């Protein structure tokens, strides 16, 4: 692993070269220094319009693994900020899940509903291949196993394929459910969620399967999503109540389960939360670290997102190693014990749960850095 923090980019037109020359490089490197990333790669393909960023945060434990997110960002700076945060989260997620993997992430900037997917994802595959195995990708928000098949045409460093383990959402949802049960054990003295009211924000793949587990457990569901068809499916199948997307944060419930995009715990939502537990599958739920401090001060039990939602990473790791889905399911079930450990440390040391999780993850990565004689980064 190189000791420098590197920004690599591939630009192939005069306009793109000029934009790259005009961009204040110091601003990019400043962003990398915040979370100690090893490498960020920009790639532009003018023929198909592919615009992608791959961030590698840390490879002390192994190659960086992280899905490909296809999303329309308001600005390129928003895309960079998102991929940097997500890559860092993957390092911590792998460390807390006990996997020999580092953290990375990629974003494809554009309309994730486009039908012209082959050229875009083959370009992305070439981008992944250029990193020579330091980064392994899979599906994420806005992408699918079918998209990963196009990526595989250009690189072997991709999983979550059609015919493989495919959609990791069921494993992610099961791990999230078990983590929620662990929170209930600490909060209520019993891990049963029977009769508890759970407000689920986002009922896409993971949210749907989480609702299924909660319904089977006997929990009461209040759900929302920007897609009315997804809401209707959960209402019809599981007897859930529904509210508008901007109302979910303020409903009276026992548990709030964010299962959509990040930064949902923020100055505005903290003012209206009426729950005792926050435990969901979304990444980067805290808009700022101080919002995790605020949850702690409010007496709300918080399951750190990268701990409770690591089932998807576990699922992909099982595919990489040639293990079966039963192993992935059982490993995701261990999230229950990990959440209990995090909350116990938080209670003993009187610190917010996200800080307790960070300390545990950083200890494991630091040990790997020392054992391999690598520069201390994390």
| Helix, strand or coil, per DSSP, at residue 181 | helix
Token pair of 57, please? 């945060």
For the chain, the residue count is: 378
Domain boundaries, the chain: 6-152, 169-357
Tokens read off for 293: 């401090």
Q: What is the pLDDT of residue 8?
A: 46
6-152 CATH fold? Rossmann fold (3.40.50)
Give residue 36's pLDDT.
83
CA distance 3 to 38: 8
Beta carbons within 10 angstroms of residue 269's beta carbon: 19
Q: Which residue of the set 105, 196, 220, 331 is catalytic? A: 105
pLDDT at residue number 12: 41
Predicted confidence at residue 377, as pLDDT, reads: 75
Q: Are the beta carbons of 66 and 38 closer than 8 angstroms?
A: no
b or e along 141-179 (b: 16 or more beta carbons within 10 Å of the residue's beta carbon)? bbbbbebbbbbbebbebbbbbeebbbbbbbbbbbbbbbb
CA angle 160, 231, 309 (to 5 degrees): 40
Q: Which fold has domain 169-357?
A: Rossmann fold (3.40.50)
- 93 catalytic? Reply is no
Taking only Cα atoms into account, the Rg of the chain, rounded to an integer number of angstroms, comes to 20
Q: What is the pLDDT of residue 154?
A: 98
What are the tokens at 165? 């383990």
Angle CA 34–38–43, to nearest 5: 100
Maximum CA extent, the chain: 64
Beta bridge partners of 69: 107
pLDDT at 16: 42
Instruction: Give me the pLDDT at residue 10, please.
Output: 43
pLDDT of residue 163: 78
Contact 259, 319 (CB under 8 A): no
Q: Spell 300-315 as b/e; 16+ CB within 10 A means b.
A: bbbbbbbbbbbbbbbb
Taking the CA atoms of residue 213, residue 217, residue 180 and residue 282 in that order, the dihedral angle to the nearest 10 degrees is 30
Q: Which residue positions in the chain have pLDDT lower than 70?
A: 1-29, 31-35, 166
pLDDT of 378 reads: 74
Nearest residue to 169 (alpha-carbon basis) of 205, 216, 217, 118: 205
């Amino acid at each position: 692993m190189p000791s420098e923090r590197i920004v690599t980019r591939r630009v192939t037109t005069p306009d793109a070269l000029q934009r790259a020359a005009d961009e204040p490089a110091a601003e990019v490197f400043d962003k990398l220094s915040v979370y100690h990333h090893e490498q960020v790669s920009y790639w532009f393909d003018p023929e198909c319009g592919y615009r992608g960023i791959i961030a590698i945060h840390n490879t002390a434990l192994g190659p960086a693994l992280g899905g490909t997110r296809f999303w329309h960002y308001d600005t390129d700076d928003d895309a960079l900020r998102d991929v940097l945060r997500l890559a860092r989260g993957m390092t911590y997620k792998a460390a807390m899940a006990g996997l020999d993997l580092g953290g990375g992430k990629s974003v494809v900037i554009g309309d994730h509903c486009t039908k012209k997917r082959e050229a875009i994802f083959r370009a992305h595959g070439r981008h992944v291949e250029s990193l020579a195995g330091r980064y392994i990708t899979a599906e994420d928000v806005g992408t699918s196993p079918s998209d990963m098949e196009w990526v595989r045409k250009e690189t072997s460093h991709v999983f979550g394929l059609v015919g493989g383990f495919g959609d990791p959402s069921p494993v992610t949802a099961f791990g999230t459910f078990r983590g929620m049960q662990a929170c209930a054990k600490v909060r209520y003295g019993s891990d049963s969620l029977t009769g508890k009211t759970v407000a689920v924000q986002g009922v896409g793949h993971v949210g749907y399967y989480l609702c299924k587990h909660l319904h089977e457990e006997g929990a009461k569901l209040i759900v929302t999503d920007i897609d009315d068809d997804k809401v209707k499916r959960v209402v019809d199948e599981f007897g859930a109540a529904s509210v508008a997307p901007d109302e979910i944060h303020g409903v009276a419930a026992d548990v709030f389960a964010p299962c959509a995009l990040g930064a949902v715990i923020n100055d505005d939502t903290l003012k209206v939360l009426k729950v005792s537990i926050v435990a969901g599958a979304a990444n980067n739920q805290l808009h700022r670290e101080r919002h995790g401090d605020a949850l702690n001060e409010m007496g709300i039990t918080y399951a750190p997102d990268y701990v409770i939602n690591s089932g998807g990473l576990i699922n992909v790791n099982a595919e990489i190693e040639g293990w079966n889905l039963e192993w992935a399911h059982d490993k995701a079930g261990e999230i229950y014990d990990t959440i209990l450990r995090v909350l116990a440390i938080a209670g003993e040391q009187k610190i917010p749960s996200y800080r307790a999780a960070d300390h545990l993850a950083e200890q494991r990565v630091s040990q790997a850095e020392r054992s391999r004689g690598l520069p201390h980064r994390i």
